[in-house]
Amino acid sequence: MIKVQGKTITAEQVINQIQFNTTEQKVIHILSLSNEVYEYDSLIQLKFELNLRSNTVNAAIELNSSEFAFRVFRKSFCNPIYWNRTDEGGFDLQSDVKPSDAIKDIYNNSSKYGTECATAMIIVFYKALLDLLPVTLFNQFYSNIYLMNWKSLDKDLGLYVVNNPTDFLPGDCMYFKNPEVDPVTPEWQGENVINLGDGKYYGHGIGINTADEIIEVLNQRRFNEATESAYLLSIAKRLSFKYISYHYKLYSSN
């Protein structure tokens, strides 16, 4: 159920008021049919979340079709014009470049980059934000980017975990766990994915697949005679849409 300023509104009522793309419409329908109450201060706040979710899906699809490679941290690589590769395998923003240019470069010169699946998720989120926020705000807000799995998360992403959410939505980051992974290939201990909607997920190194297909790939990376299958965890990582939209509103009003 969607509530805007305390009033329940239907999916149709939302769609009649503002133009939405396919992903956004899918999200609206899930939200409005849900038992959970999704509350917003305004339609603009709702639209912001829908935009960002849709951008996340697009950024994931775009990264999948690029030449961005899968590499373990010890073998990660990046374009040194924009990023400094640290000893632990993370990418630290060079001091003299704009964060927006550095994120764009990962997409524009994708063959110059390779890293693990968790870092790919962060890149997708940054790209989704870059496509939505004014460049100046993006550069102010995300001035110290360090790309290294979930280790050094920018607080202004406001990324948080929802355990057992009522709904899984396009744009959610989810996780397939592989409890009996072959220890010789620890990078297959699990797969971080972006929910693309319609039962499809993007995982870096695995590509765009259904849950069953991802589980099949992970199961092939278990130790010999393993018996426990990989599985999708009932958790979702989400950006703090309201927090970011508040800053966007603040920036726009100045």
Partner 1 sequence: MFLTQKKDMYTNITSNEYIKNWSKSNFSYNQKTITSKELQDLDRIRLSQGIFKMKSFFNEQLKNTKENAVVLLNHNNLMYSSLYLLKQDIINHKIVDDISTKNKIALRITEEILKIEKNSPLFPSNCCSHIQSVASILKWMLLTGSQDDGLSEEFDTILDITALLLTKIYKEKSVLPIIINMAFERNRRGANTHDLLWSFFEAKDPRSFILVANYLLSEHNKDIELAKKLLKFASDVNMTINTPPYYQYLHFISWLKENYFYLYFTGESFQQTNQPIPYVVVLEAKYLNKVVSIDTGKILESLSENDVNCIYTFRNLDQNTRIILTNFSHFLRHKDDQFWTHWLNSTISEQIMTAKNWLGVS
Q: Does 184 bind partner 1 (CB under 8 A)?
A: yes
Nearer to partner 1, 8 or 152 (CB): 152
What is d(CA 30, CA 23) in angstroms, rounded to the nearest whole number? 11
User: How long, in residues, is the chain?
Assistant: 254
Q: Does 94 bind partner 1 (CB under 8 A)?
A: no
Nearer to partner 1, 20 or 175 (CB): 175
CB 18 within 8 A of CB 28: no
In the block, tokens 């797969």 appear at 191
Q: Which of residues 191-210 bind partner 1 (CB under 8 A)?
A: 192
Q: Which of 161, 198, 216, 234 binds partner 1 (CB under 8 A)?
A: 161
3-state secondary structure string across 73-117: HHHCECCCCCEEECCCCCEEECCCCCHHHHHHHHHHCHHHCEECH
What is d(CA 103, CA 106) in angstroms, rounded to the nearest whole number? 5
What is d(CA 149, CA 246) in angstroms, rounded to the nearest whole number? 26
Nearer to partner 1, 14 or 120 (CB): 120
CB 177 within 8 A of CB 233: yes
CB 116 within 8 A of CB 70: yes
Q: Which of 6, 183, 253, 254 binds partner 1 (CB under 8 A)?
A: 183
H/E run at residue 247: helix 241-253
Q: Does 110 bind partner 1 (CB under 8 A)?
A: no
Q: Does 177 bind partner 1 (CB under 8 A)?
A: yes
Q: Does 3 bind partner 1 (CB under 8 A)?
A: no
Q: Which of 109, 189, 219, 240 binds partner 1 (CB under 8 A)?
A: 189
Estimate to the nearest angstrom the gap between the alpha carbon of 224 and the chain centroid. 33
Q: Does 115 bind partner 1 (CB under 8 A)?
A: no
Q: Does 228 bind partner 1 (CB under 8 A)?
A: yes
The pair of three-digit structure tokens given for residue 142, joined into one six-digit string: 């995300």
Q: Does 75 bind partner 1 (CB under 8 A)?
A: yes
Nearer to partner 1, 135 or 160 (CB): 160
Sheet holding 7-9, edge to edge: 7-9, 2-4, 38-40
Q: Does 229 bind partner 1 (CB under 8 A)?
A: yes
Shortest Cβ distance from residue 184 to partner 1 (Å)?
A: 6
Stretch that binds partner 1, among 8-16, 40-48, 107-115, 186-194 (CB under 8 A): 186-194
Name the residues that contact partner 1, by CB under 8 A. Answer: 73-75, 86-89, 116-118, 149-153, 159, 161, 175, 177, 179-180, 183-184, 186, 189-190, 192, 223-229, 233, 237
